[in-house]
Amino acid sequence: MTQPTEPTESEISFRTRKWVRPEDLNANGTLFGGSLLKWIDEEATIYTIFQLGNGRVVTKFISEINFVSSARQGDLVEMGLRATEFGRTSMTMRAQVRNMITHASILTIERIVFVSLDEYGRPLPHGFTDVTLGRDRIHPDLLH
């Protein structure tokens, strides 16, 4: 039997799964886009914190979003992110969301840009150029 393996740094990792609840629905009875975007932004925040080792990161830019299919109450959706570019103070990601029940793609976002900030809210150079698959970049300040 083949064991599941950790994705390599060039692959999207689908780490988060969401169950579509009644409060996540729009007037059409399908998944509300705002709920989905909130989930993606949260997921991207956590991913960026791990990659850049800084808890103070903000969303700077999100490219075109084309909702190609949807989900219904009770469906399960999964979200994946991959870092595509490390800038001086920024990191760019690609996002994919798919419906685990229908196997259909719900959306793809080519570019989500986050910026690392210092304590004054100014862009802070992060010094990283590649993806970490571990937790080695967690800054001591984030630990309790």
Ligand X SMILES: CC(C)(COP(=O)(O)OP(=O)(O)OC[C@H]1O[C@@H](n2cnc3c(N)ncnc32)[C@H](O)[C@@H]1OP(=O)(O)O)[C@@H](O)C(=O)NCCC(=O)NCCS
* Segment lying near ligand X (by CB under 6 A), choices 5-13, 22-30, 43-51, 87-95: 87-95
Q: Of 122 and 135, which CB lies nearer to ligand X in the complex structure?
A: 122
Rounded Cα–Cα distance for residues 59 and 78 (Å): 21
27-86 positions binding ligand X, by CB under 6 A: 58-61
Helix (H) or strand (E) segment spanning residue 46: helix 33-52
Residue number, nearest CB to ligand X: 87
Mask of contacts with ligand X, 118-137, x by CB under 6 A? Answer: -----x--------------
Q: Would you call 93 exposed, middle or buried from its count of C-beta atoms within 10 A (0-12, 13-18, 19+)? A: buried
* Contacting residue, 95, 106, 107, 113, with ligand X by CB under 6 A: 113
Binding of ligand X by 115 (CB under 6 A): yes
Rounded Cα–Cα distance for residues 77 and 47 (Å): 18
Q: Of 33 and 87, which CB lies nearer to ligand X in the complex structure?
A: 87
Rounded Cα–Cα distance for residues 93 and 114 (Å): 8
